[in-house]
């Protein structure tokens, strides 16, 4: 077999990219360093705006908690339960369902079939709207559900009222997530960031107006939450339809074809992500059974809020690496996909160490953002070490999940998550928290062990991945999940 000829630059040095557009084998530390820089620029050019978008979207939750938290501990605990349990349950499921587009849109874009992106997005709108209808009873019956799960009556009653009031925001997610994935697959992410920033500023203004200006309390917070969600979704759709003519070719009857294959991939994506989101959500439910539940739930909710901020950053990185991997697999570039993964995993680990250091350095002070209660701040400080270690793990794990989405491995990761989280981590946390009487520290510590096991297993899967084989399977995945008859049949 003939060796692939090396391309050279103007200085006569070999180029890192071969004639096929993929990286060639690296032969020196200088070449490794150059590749590291190239991949860093490519990934973060996508990741930066996505991170801003996701942080702004999550910021609506945090801003709501901040405004409500200064009303009192009961209001803080109730709204935190509503947002962290009921809303996050639905958020995780809807985001997971929408993440199926990261696989299909990313690989279709890489393969040059850009016209399919609009069809995939429309299919996802249909499927996620149906999913929102199915999830609605959880919002409507939140109070009895929370009481069955052991929450105190005063917390469950107020949380239930607030959850019903934010039901309209659930349906905005059915349009928001597919549109985001449609734009991300084409690396059209700068507009997403600007829309996210504008909607967060709008949300803060609405919170001030309804809570402080009009004195509407938690009802005002819910109204602001709904308005902000729908403005975000409609603005993204307007941009996708108005400025993405190549990917959006109009409404199409093809969106209603081969729905079941698309549903299967969407469900696999949802299960993979939900097993992660619900795992951390379950610790708040278990904490509600401890003594002094208001203090325990409130302190843990504050920690989870900070953990959530870091998690949202890495959901952005997750989406970016998913785009990079799926695009490169669609292009037929196995080495580029592999190098992109290794670069972002190393950088994410460094970022996680920095976050852990900051939390430990300011463990006695960071809770003041959310509460005026001295007892609550002391309770948060006791959890700082667990929060720091959780943030370290969460810097790597979502990145690997993004690789899984980009490569179409959702079902495998779902099984790993199920075993590590619910067979090992959750029972272990229960034993430490209740049987060994370590309280919330025991619950959280046991669940961290489950996350650690899952991260190790995913790293092993990543290490053993045959990237050339993944390229070969890309076309088959698109045929299987995207549907075989995708002619542009417009309405």
More confident residue, 448 or 411: 448
Q: Which domain holds residue 410?
A: 29-482
Query: Domains in the chain: how many in total?
Result: 1
Q: Does residue 423 surpass a pLDDT of 70?
A: yes
Is residue 16 domain-resident?
Answer: no
Q: What's residue 488's pLDDT?
A: 46
Q: Is residue 15 assigned to a domain?
A: no
The answer to whether 391 and 355 have CB atoms below 8 angstroms apart is: yes
State yes or no: pLDDT of 490 exceeds 50. Answer: no
Q: Over 90: is that where the pLDDT of 168 sits?
A: yes
In a domain, 126, yes or no: yes
| Structure confidence at residue 4 as a pLDDT band (50, 70, 90) | very low
Confidence of residue 477 (pLDDT cuts 50, 70, 90): low
For residue 188, tell me if it sits in a domain. Answer: yes
pLDDT at 481 over 70: no
Q: Write down the pLDDT at residue 219.
A: 92
* Lowest-confidence segment of 101-115, 151-165, 280-294, 330-344 by average pLDDT: 280-294
* Residue at 276 is within a domain: yes
222 inside domain: yes
pLDDT in tens, 228-253: 999 999 999 999 998 887 788 778 77
Is residue 23 one of the residues assigned to a domain? no
For 337-351, the pLDDT digits (tens) are 888 888 988 998 898
Q: What is the pTM of this model?
A: 0.75
- Give 132 or 333, the one with higher predicted confidence: 132
Distance CA 285, CA 307 (A): 17
Residue 19 lies in a domain: no
């Amino acid at each position: 077999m003939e060796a692939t000829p090396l391309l050279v630059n103007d200085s006569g040095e070999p180029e890192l990219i071969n004639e096929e557009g993929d990286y060639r084998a690296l032969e020196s530390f200088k070449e490794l360093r150059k590749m590291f820089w190239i991949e860093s620029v490519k990934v973060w050019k996508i990741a930066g705006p996505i991170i801003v978008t996701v942080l702004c979207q999550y910021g609506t939750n945090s801003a709501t908690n901040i405004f409500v938290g200064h009303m009192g501990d009961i209001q803080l605990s109730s709204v935190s339960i509503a947002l962290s349990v009921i809303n996050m349950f639905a958020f995780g499921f809807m985001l997971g369902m929408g993440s199926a587009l990261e696989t299909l849109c990313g690989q279709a874009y890489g393969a040059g079939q850009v016209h399919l992106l609009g069809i995939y997005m429309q299919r996802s709108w249909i499927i996620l709207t149906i999913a929102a209808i199915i999830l609605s009873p959880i919002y409507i019956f939140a109070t009895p559900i929370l009481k069955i799960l052991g929450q105190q009556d005063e917390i469950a009653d107020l949380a239930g009222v607030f959850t019903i009031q934010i039901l309209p925001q659930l349906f905005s997610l059915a349009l928001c997530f597919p549109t985001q994935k449609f734009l991300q697959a084409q690396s059209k992410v700068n507009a997403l960031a600007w829309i996210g920033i504008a909607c967060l500023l709008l949300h803060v203004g609405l919170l001030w107006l309804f809570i402080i200006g009009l004195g509407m309390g938690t009802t005002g917070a819910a109204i602001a939450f709904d308005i902000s969600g729908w403005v975000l979704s409609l603005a993204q759709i307007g941009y996708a339809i108005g400025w993405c003519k190549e990917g959006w070719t109009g409404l199409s009857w093809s969106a209603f074809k081969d729905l079941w294959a698309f549903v299967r991939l969407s469900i696999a994506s949802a299960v993979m992500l939900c097993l992660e989101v619900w795992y951390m959500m379950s610790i708040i439910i278990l904490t509600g059974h401890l003594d002094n539940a208001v203090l325990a739930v409130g302190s843990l909710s504050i920690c989870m809020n900070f953990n959530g901020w870091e998690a949202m950053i890495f959901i952005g990185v997750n989406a970016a690496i998913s785009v990079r991997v799926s695009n490169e697999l669609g292009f037929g570039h196995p080495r580029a996909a592999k190098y992109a993964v290794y670069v972002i995993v190393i950088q994410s680990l460094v970022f996680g160490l920095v976050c852990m250091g900051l939390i430990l350095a300011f463990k006695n002070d960071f809770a003041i953002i959310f509460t005026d209660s001295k007892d609550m701040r002391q309770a948060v400080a006791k959890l700082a070490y667990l929060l720091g270690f959780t943030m370290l793990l969460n810097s790597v794990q979502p990145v690997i999940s993004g690789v899984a989405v980009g490569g179409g491995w959702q079902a495998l990761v779902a099984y790993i998550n199920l075993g590590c989280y619910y067979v090992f981590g959750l029972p272990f946390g229960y034993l430490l928290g209740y049987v060994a009487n370590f309280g919330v520290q025991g619950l959280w510590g046991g669940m961290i062990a489950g996350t650690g096991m899952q991260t190790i297993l995913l790293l092993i899967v990543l290490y053993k991945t045959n990237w050339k084989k993944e390229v070969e399977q890309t076309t088959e995945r698109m045929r299987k999940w995207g549907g075989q008859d995708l002619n542009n049949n417009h309405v």
